[in-house]
């Protein structure tokens, strides 16, 4: 698993986009989770899972296929206990025999290597939702900028060499620049908005709305509004909120 190799780098170098864009997007989409049960599918090192618990979730559970990332999440739980539970599991096949009020997934569905994998991941999501439960996700923007120029700490290229007209299932590579200037990368798969919609609908869920990225007030105060103009003009993320049918 690629993240077993780069787990430490991936965990230690959060980007401004993660804290000032994806985190507030997630908070807006999940809403008031006080007293609710939440499953974070593809939780990585538990960054967002811990926030879900901090925001008041009665139960927060994380699942990720990377043993190394789950190890990091569990170590953080030992250091700062919040009552979060983590499991190693494949989002296509994981079954906890438990249903949740909310299932979240931040940059996880894009590791589905085929439409079959994407559909199976959506079935897993529906299986773990209570009746009328909500699924919230942040995915790579379908119009993501393909470029060799670093923006806000990273950039994305296509292994096909294309910069436009990306095809469903195409392999993309995200390049991250660390504080010391060295670069590491990881691969994921491009899926169009229609591909996500088709899998979600086929799994027995419906899309309530899509959420455009926005910057938190904290991020604007820290860097100023003009700093974020380039990102908001060509965002790399998109949110969606769904309900179980």
Hey, what domains does the chain have and what are their CATH numbers?
2-145+192-244 (3.40.50.150)
Note the pLDDT of residue 14. 63
Measured between alpha carbons, how far is 66 from 245 in angstroms, rounded to an integer?
30
**pTM (two decimals):** 0.95
Q: Residue 63's closest CA among 81, 45, 86, 47?
A: 86
State the 10-residue block means of pLDDT for the chain, 245 residues long: 81 81 98 97 97 98 97 97 98 97 98 98 98 97 95 93 96 90 93 98 98 97 96 96 97
- 232 to 48, 144, 154, 203, 240: CA distances (angstroms): 22, 11, 15, 31, 17
The first and second tokens of residue 13, run together, are 């170098």
Note the pLDDT of residue 13. 65
Please give the biggest Cα pair distance in the chain. 48
Note the pLDDT of residue 131. 96
CB atoms within 10 A of CB 167: 11
In degrees rounded to 5, what are phi and psi of residue 115? -65, -30
């Amino acid at each position: 698993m690629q993240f077993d190799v780069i787990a430490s780098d991936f965990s230690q170098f959060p980007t401004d986009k993660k804290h000032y864009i994806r985190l507030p997007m997630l908070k807006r989409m999940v809403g008031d989770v006080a007293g609710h049960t939440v499953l974070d599918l593809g939780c990585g090192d538990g960054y967002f899972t811990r926030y879900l618990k901090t925001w008041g979730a009665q139960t927060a559970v994380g699942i990720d296929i990377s043993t190394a990332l789950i190890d990091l999440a569990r170590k953080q739980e030992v250091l700062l206990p919040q009552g979060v539970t983590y499991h190693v599991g494949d989002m296509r096949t994981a079954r906890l025999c438990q249903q949740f009020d909310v299932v979240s997934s931040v940059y996880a569905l894009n590791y589905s290597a085929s439409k079959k994998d994407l559909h199976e991941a959506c079935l897993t999501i529906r299986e773990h939702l209570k009746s009328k439960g909500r699924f919230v996700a942040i995915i790579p923007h379908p119009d993501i900028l393909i470029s060799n120029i670093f923006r806000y700490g990273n950039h994305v290229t296509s292994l096909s060499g294309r910069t436009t007209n990306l095809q469903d299932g195409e392999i993309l590579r995200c390049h991250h620049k660390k504080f010391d200037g060295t670069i590491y990368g990881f691969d994921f798969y491009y899926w169009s908005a229609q591909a996500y919609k088709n899998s979600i609908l086929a799994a027995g869920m419906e899309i309530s709305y899509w959420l455009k990225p926005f910057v938190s007030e904290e991020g604007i105060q820290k860097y100023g509004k003009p700093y974020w103009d380039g990102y908001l003009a060509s965002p790399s993320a998109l949110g969606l909120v769904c309900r179980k049918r």
